[in-house]
Amino acid sequence: MDVVANIDVDGRVTPLSIRWRDGRTFEIDRVHEAIRRASTRVGGTGIRYLVTVHGRDKYLFFEDPRWFVEEVVPENEGSASLAGGARKR
């Protein structure tokens, strides 16, 4: 996924919008927090942003150089290798 972000003079990264692979773009309404965390559903460690997009809170991860959102996937559609029915998107 593509993320448009602002990087300030102190190096702080603030995500502004998310663009899915299909071209849809969603503006981030608010960034609530940015903390170093691991994704409990799909693994990996990076900066976890709690963001609001269209009134819904989502976790957005930056694992340099990749961005991803945890996505809940129904058991029958998900990969058996990913715990908890989630995958990186």
Q: Is 80 exposed, middle or buried (0-12, 13-18, 19+ CB in 10 A)?
A: exposed
CA distances from 57 to 2, 49, 72 (A): 18, 10, 13
Handedness of CA 80, 81, 85, 86 (dihedral sign): negative
pLDDT at 2 (0 to 100): 95
User: Does pLDDT of 56 surpass 70?
Assistant: yes
CA–CA gap between residue 25 and residue 37 (Å, rounded): 25
- Taking only the tens place, the pLDDT of each residue in 9-51 is 999 999 999 999 899 999 999 999 999 998 777 777 899 999 9
